[in-house]
Amino acid sequence: TAFLHGDLHEEVYMKLPPGFSSSSPNRVCRLKKSLYGLRQSPRNWFAKHQTALRQYGFQQSHADNTLFTLRKGDDCISVLVYVDDML
């Protein structure tokens, strides 16, 4: 379900899913959220996490843009985002 919460910033349409009927055979659905399987899904998922981590004060690494670190005094938190998971 990781990819189901990404916001779309472009218009994306899809055919009606199986089981849905319509009086017009050419009818399509406009997506408001990202769906698993869309090419935009990983990018939208990462952008949402990137924004949230930056709002909490994390710094994004220049060497690896999937690595975020937060330092408070002697404490350090590192978050590594990998595909659809975080370590």
In-domain check, residue 2: no
Domain membership of residue 46 as a residue range: 7-86
Give Cα separations from 11 to 40, 48, 58, 69 (angstroms): 11, 18, 31, 33
pLDDT of 8 reads 67
Residues 6+ apart with CB under 8 A from 10: 40
In-domain check, residue 1: no
* Whole-angstrom distance, CA of residue 82 vs CA of residue 44: 14
In-domain check, residue 75: yes
Tokens 């590192």, residue? 78
Total number of domains constituting the chain? 1
Q: Residues 41-69: what's their mean pLDDT?
A: 88
Is the per-residue pLDDT at 3 higher than 60? no
Give Cα separations from 16 to 20, 25, 29, 33 (angstroms): 6, 9, 6, 15
